[in-house]
Amino acid sequence: MIGIGVLRGMGVTFKTFLETYPWGRGLLRALRIPTTNGLVTVEYPDVKQQHHERFRYFPFLVYDQTPDNLRCVACKICEQECPPACIHIIGPAKDEQGRPAKAHGRTYPVEFDIDISVCMSCRICVDVCPFDAIEMDNQYELSGFDRFGQMVFNKDKLLKPNDYFQRIKPTEAATVDARLAAKKK
């Protein structure tokens, strides 16, 4: 009979409609029809979605204890490997005589800029960094009005402590810390 298929389809729609209300789910349960929790949307600005630990957005630079003790030594590997070429490094820093200046026994970059409007969050910089100096952040509310003032992150904006890294990505930070400790020995 013509029309049966349409009616059956409407039955599916009606069941989904019922699933979005608690009383509807109760009704379906009473009728012994298997249900799911029909609500899947997150009301974003009020409720924030719980992201997975590996969720990545833009990179940041890790420092230990104090901001001048950053792990980056300005080797420029990430700058070279970045597919859209959004990393820009000036350095390593030099002293008056032209010799490489050191802080905490390491060379350091004078400038480290990431143009986050170009960055495509691919995580290749993290993979290639031999010093575990760059990691992926999970901050995503970064919109702004100004192309170069707000979208180009300089060193001050990129530097974040290792505690922060441990907080947002505990598993990954633990392996990185273990690797660095093994290297020190």
Q: Which residues bind another protein (CB under 8 A)?
A: 2-6, 8-9, 11-13, 16, 34, 40, 51-56, 80-83, 120-124, 127-128, 130, 136, 171
Amino acid identity of residue 141, one-letter, is: E
Instruction: For residue 59, give both structure tokens.
Output: 């990179």
Residue with tokens 């030594």: 73
CB 91 within 8 A of CB 111: yes
Which of 72/125 has CB closer to another protein?
A: 125
Q: Please state the closest distance from residue 156 (CB atom) to another protein, in A.
A: 26
Pick the closer one to another protein by CB: 128 or 151.
128
Question: Taking Cα atoms as reference points, which of 111, 138, 145, 108 lies closest to residue 123?
Answer: 138
Cα dihedral sign for 122, 135, 85, 147? Answer: positive
Give the shortest CB-131-to-another protein separation in angstroms.
12
Name the minimum Å distance from CB 150 to another protein.
22
Taking the least distance from each CB to another protein, the nearer of 135 and 155 is 135
The helix-helix angle for 4-19 and 22-30 (nearest 10°) equals 120
CB 147 within 8 Å of CB 177: no
In whole angstroms, how close is the CB of 89 to another protein at the nearest point? 17
Pick the closer one to another protein by CB: 133 or 155. Answer: 133
Which among 48, 55, 49, 51 is positioned nearest to 172, based on CA atoms? Answer: 55
Which is closer to another protein, CB of 5 or CB of 98? 5
Smallest separation, CB 54 to another protein (Å): 4
